[in-house]
Structure 1
C-alpha cells in the first residue's frame, strides 16, 4: 500500500516538474523575444542628442528636415535598412557601386541614400576609401530618417506605431519593402535596390513603371511611381495592403507578392504580357531584360569567369544589372577578377571599383 502511494506521489511530482520545466521554457522564450524586439526597435529610434555622444562623430542630416529636399517624381532613392549599433554608416563596395553608377549616368538627378538606423561618419574610425569616393559626387546625398516620423501623413502612420514590422523574421528585407512604398508615396520618384549596377541613363524609362521578373511575381527592385495619379494609387494600395496582410514569416509576401496582386487588380488580368500602359491606367511593366537580364536562378553567371562572355552578352542592352543579393551577398572576389560583374563595375562605378580590394 505504501509503495503504491509513494509511486503515485512520485508520478505526480514528475508531472509537476515537467509542467514547471515547460512553463520556464515558454516564459524564457517569451521574455527573450520581448527583449529582442525591444532592442530591434531601439536600434531604429532617432536620437536627437546623438551628436553629443562623440565629438568625432558627424551624423547625416534627416531627410525630413534637410535643406536639400527631393524634387517630386525626379529623385532617385536607395534604402539601407540594417541596424548599426555603433552609429557608423554601413555600406559595402557593391552597394557603393550601385550608388556611384547611378550618379555617374544621371548627373542631373539627385540620388538620396536613406539609412533607416541613424548613422554618420566618425573621423576617429577607418572609413573605407570608396565612401570618400562617393562623397565626390555632388548629386549623392546621404540621409538619416526616423521611421515613425517618416511614416506620418501616409496610410501606415498609425500601423507603424504598433511595431509589428519588428516582429518580422526578415526585418531588413521587409523594412526595405515597407520603406520604398512610403518613400514613393511621399515624394514620388525612382526606387532601386543596392545590388544593381547602372550602365546607361535612366531618363528614357519614363515614369510610373515596374520591372518584370523571371518568377511568378513582379520584382520591386527597380520601380518608379509618382506621388499622384496611378503612381500614388499603387503606393497607396501597397501601404494599405501592408496594414491588412503583413506576414512576418513570408519573405516575398510584403513585397513582390503584394505588388503583383495590386498590379493584377489594376490591370484586371494576371497575364503580365497584357500589362500595358493603356490597360493598366498608365502603369508600365518594363520587360525583364531591362533590369533583370539574368534570372535569379542563374545569378552565378555574374561571378564565374567561365560565364563572363555569355553574361555580358545577355546584359548588353539592359539599363542595369541586378545581382540578386539575397543569394550573392557572400560572394567576394579580389578586384581584377575576370567576371561579368567586375567588368560591368569597372566601367560604371570606376572610383569605387578602383578604391576597393574585394568586389
Structure 2
C-alpha cells in the first residue's frame, strides 16, 4: 500500500466489561481513501446473514480469507459483514485472532442502503426487494458484489473459494470463469472501476427488473450468464480458452471450476485425492461448492487428519486456520 494512504485500524472499540471480549467493526465507507485509490489492489469477501452480534466459527470461510491474504500480501483484503443496523460486533474467537495477525485483512461492516446511495442498484436495497425472498442471504450477496465491483473495482470472491495464486499472477482485470458451456459463475469476479462497467450495470438492471425472490439460483450465476450471453451475442461459452467480449474476459473452466458442481464430492472423498489434485494444479482459484453441504445433502465434515483433497488444499493454502481445527474442518 502507498505510504501516503492512511489505513484505519480494524476495530473502533473494545469492551472488557464482560467475557468474552467484543469488538466493534468499523464501516467500510471509513476506508474511502483506500477503496477509491486506483493504485491499491482490493479483494472483497461478503458475509450477508445480517446479525449484529457475530462470532467467526466457520473455518472454511476463514480458510478462504487466509488463502487470499497469504497469496496477496500487498493487497487489501476486505472481509465484510452486511447489516441493517448501525453496527456489527464480533465476539473474540481463535479464528478471529488468526486472521487478525495478517496485516492486510480488514474487517468492516456494510450498510447496503447507505453504500448504494446514488448508484444504479440503489433501488434494490431502498425498495427492500429482499424482504420478499426466502433466499435473502444469497440474493443479498448477489447484489452486494455488483455494488462493490461498480463502486470500487477489484476482486470479488465467494467465501468458499480458495486462492491458489496471487491476482498479479492472473495478470488480468475484468474477468469471470466459465463453469460450463452455459454458465459463467459469479463466485469469482474481477472488474476495473473505469472499464467494463457496462456489463455490471446491465446485470444490475436485470436484478432490479427480473428479480425472482424465491428461486435460489436464478439471480446469481444464471442471471449473470444470461446478461453476458446477450452482451456478447452468444448462446454458449468456451470452456477451454480465454474469450474476450468487450472489456470482459471469460477464463477457462479449469482456472476456477476444475471440479464441477455435480462432482463436489470429490473434494471430500479420499479415493479421489489424486484425481482432484491433478485437476486443480493449473487453477487460479478453487470453488468448493460448500452450498451443497449447507443444503444437507450429506454430512461433509472433514476430520483434521483427513486425506481428502479439500483438507490438503486447506493445509497448503490456509495453514494457520487449519491448525486451529480440533476435530472437524
TM range (shorter): 0.7 to 0.9
The equivalent position to 2:50 in structure 1, one of 83, 87, 90, is 83
Shift of 1:215: 6.4
Shift of 1:101: 0.5
For 1:267 and 1:66, locate their aligned partners in 2 and report how far apart those are by CA, in whole Å.
Answer: 35
The equivalent position to 2:113 in structure 1, one of 131, 148, 160, is 148
* SS, match of residue 210 in structure 1: strand
The equivalent position to 1:137 in structure 2, one of 96, 102, 115, is 102
For 1:159 and 1:107, locate their aligned partners in 2 and report how far apart those are by CA, in whole Å.
Answer: 34
Q: CA 1:257/1:278 → structure 2, altered by over 3 Å: closer, same or farther?
A: closer
CA contact (8 A) 1:267 1:275 kept: no
- Give the corresponding residue for 2:268: 303
- Give the corresponding residue for 1:227: 193
- Give the corresponding residue for 2:179: 213
- Give the corresponding residue for 1:94: 60
Q: CA 1:275/1:224 → structure 2, altered by over 3 Å: closer, same or farther?
A: farther
- Give the corresponding residue for 1:33: none
TM-score for both structures, normalised by structure 2 = 0.86
Q: Which one has the bigger strand percentage?
A: 2
CA contact (8 A) 1:299 1:328 kept: no
Shift of 1:203: 1.2
- Is 2:26 aligned against 1:61? yes
Shift of 1:75: 0.6
- Is 2:119 aligned against 1:160? no
- Give the corresponding residue for 1:318: 283
- Give the corresponding residue for 1:239: 204
Shift of 1:288: 0.8
- Give the corresponding residue for 1:339: 308
Shift of 1:287: 0.6
- Give the number of the structure whose alpha-carbon radius of gyration is greater: 1
Shift of 1:153: 2.1
For 1:335 and 1:274, locate their aligned partners in 2 and report how far apart those are by CA, in whole Å.
Answer: 35
Name the Cα RMSD after superposition: 2.3
For 1:191 and 1:262, locate their aligned partners in 2 and report how far apart those are by CA, in whole Å.
Answer: 18
Equivalences for residues 1-359 of structure 1 within 5 A: 56-66=21-31, 69-70=34-35, 71-72=37-38, 74-84=41-51, 87-117=53-83, 118-122=87-91, 127-205=92-170, 206-214=172-180, 216-230=182-196, 232-273=197-238, 280-329=245-294, 331-357=300-326, 358-359=328-329
Output one character per residue of 1:13-43: Cα deviation in whole Å (capped at 9) or x when no partner: xxxxxxxxxxxxxxxxxxxxxxxxxxxxxxx
- Give the corresponding residue for 1:41: none
Shift of 1:253: 1.7
Output one character per residue of 1:89-124: Cα deviation in whole Å (capped at 9) or x when no partner: 4451000000001100111111101101342233xx
TM-score for both structures, normalised by structure 1 = 0.79
CA contact (8 A) 2:183 2:221 kept: yes
* SS, match of residue 50 in structure 2: coil
For 2:120 and 2:240, locate their aligned partners in 1 and report how far apart those are by CA, in whole Å.
Answer: 26
CA contact (8 A) 2:179 2:239 kept: no
* SS, match of residue 292 in structure 1: coil
For 1:274 and 1:58, locate their aligned partners in 2 and report how far apart those are by CA, in whole Å.
Answer: 44
